[in-house]
Amino acid sequence: MTDLCELTRLADSGRLPPPAAVAARVRARGIWLYVETWLLASRTWVVSLLIVAVLEPIVYLLALGWGLGSLVDRQVGVADGVPYLVFVGPALIVATGVMAAHQESTYPVMAGFKWRRLFLAAQATPLMPRQIALGHLASVMCRYLAQATLFWLVLLAFGATRSAWSWLVVPITGLTAWAFGACVTAYAAGLEDEGYEFALLQRFVVMPMFLFAGTFFPLSELPAYLHWVGWISPIWHGTELARVASYGAPMTGAALALHLSVLLGYAAVGTIVTTRRFTRRLTR
């Protein structure tokens, strides 16, 4: 049994800085402390995730670049004047990033508030709700970037890039995933119950964005009245940028700036609303 002396040390070892100093440190570095613990906790699933993150691009590129590509490439010049593999590769990086963002921003967010209550646990510490919100967004960003980097390496191995700037697809994917994920996180943080909203989001927002927003064929293949799907879709803006980086698809400076601003706009709005909703939900 613990004697009184040990117990006294347990309650006050004298080895800790005073509470005000502890709190000041957390106020300054809270987001990174949160990211660090998220990375630590990710040990339980990171291996399976990394395996998927390597196999998935291989499967996509084999099936779509090679398999589907052999159909498409019978006609020359239809896909931006490059082989279909080169055309579809950067789009697939962006699309898988957005899919990951959808996963990380729906059920895990609901779980943090409701099922596993891990956000509530963090809130009992000096961490501020704002730091928990931003910490969560920054944590999942680590996943997007790791996944995109692996995909890009596979793309290189397939010889599916045409530019020395192709590595830029990694930050572009990160930005696109953040833009989409932050908006979805904001939405999820406002939900009291998961009444199938996530399934509907997947079917009516994510899938159409993926299918109709220039991933598999240029937006111009669609009738003009469907082009708006691409315009509002972060996937399309991310994909267009990724194509410039990966094989130097032609683009004017103005278009470049426009795509970038749309993504930054989504990211900013999503991040602000997420922070607000986390704060409101954790302090009401």
Task: Write down how long the chain is.
Answer: 284
Find the shortest distance in angstroms from Cβ 257 to other proteins.
Answer: 27
If the CB atoms of residues 148 and 267 are measured against other proteins, the closer one turns out to be 148
| Letter string b/e over residues 228-249, b meaning 16 or more CB atoms within 10 A of that residue's CB | ebbeebbbbbbbbbbbbbbbeb
Write the CA distances from 239 to 22, 80, 103, integer angstroms: 44, 13, 19
Please choose, from the candidates 175, 115, 145, the residue with its C-alpha nearest in 3D space to the C-alpha of residue 50: 145
Residue found by looking up tokens 């079917």 in the block = 203
If the CB atoms of residues 233 and 267 are measured against other proteins, the closer one turns out to be 233
If the CB atoms of residues 207 and 232 are measured against other proteins, the closer one turns out to be 207
Find the shortest distance in angstroms from Cβ 237 to other proteins.
Answer: 18
DSSP code string of 136-150: HHHHHHHHHHHHHHH
Find the shortest distance in angstroms from Cβ 251 to other proteins.
Answer: 20
If the CB atoms of residues 59 and 157 are measured against other proteins, the closer one turns out to be 59
If the CB atoms of residues 9 and 165 are measured against other proteins, the closer one turns out to be 9
Q: Are 176 and 262 in contact (CB under 8 A)?
A: no
If the CB atoms of residues 60 and 267 are measured against other proteins, the closer one turns out to be 60
Find the shortest distance in angstroms from Cβ 143 to other proteins.
Answer: 9
3-class SS of residue 160:
coil
Find the shortest distance in angstroms from Cβ 101 to other proteins.
Answer: 13
If the CB atoms of residues 98 and 267 are measured against other proteins, the closer one turns out to be 98
162: amino acid identity, one letter: R
Residues 180, 166: Cα–Cα separation, whole Å: 22
DSSP code string of 88-135: HHHHHHHHHHHHHHHHHHSHHHHIIIIIS-HHHHHHTSS--HHHHHHH
Find the shortest distance in angstroms from Cβ 264 to other proteins.
Answer: 27
Find the shortest distance in angstroms from Cβ 238 to other proteins.
Answer: 18
